[in-house]
Amino acid sequence: MPPACLLPVKVIPNAPRTAVAGWLGDALKVRVQAPPVEGRANAALCAGLAERLGLPGAAVSVARGATASRKLVHIAGLDLATVRQRLAAAENP
């Protein structure tokens, strides 16, 4: 079975640009440029995380909290330790 994980995320919509803003406890804080309308913020979140983690877009999806600011994101292809490593490496190149 390929690795996968669930990542808690706090989303801040309507930001000037889409970017990872650090950690809020165990949750990853992500600002997205898209508004929270018709799933646009969720789509921007998934696309941004997939790009940041070097995964195809379909590998990242919202598992829970589609209409809430706190979400649980499913990431296929990576375990949680690898996700944290890649996010840290992207912050400190």
Give the per-residue pLDDT at 1. 73
Residues 26 and 44: their CA atoms lie apart, in Å, by 21
Name the DSSP class of 40.
H
CATH number at residue 33: 3.30.1200.10
Question: 32-58: per-residue pLDDT in tens?
Answer: 999 999 999 999 999 999 999 999 999
Give the per-residue pLDDT at 2. 79
The one-letter amino acid at 19: A
Distance linking the first and last C-alpha atoms of the chain = 31
Q: What integer is the mean pLDDT of 47-70?
A: 96
Counting the structural domains of the chain, the total is 1
Q: In this model, does residue 77 exceed pLDDT 90? A: yes
Number of Cβ within 10 Å of residue 2's Cβ equals 8
Give me the domain span that covers residue 54. 4-91
Question: 1-24: per-residue pLDDT in tens?
Answer: 779 999 999 999 999 999 999 999
The model's pTM? 0.93
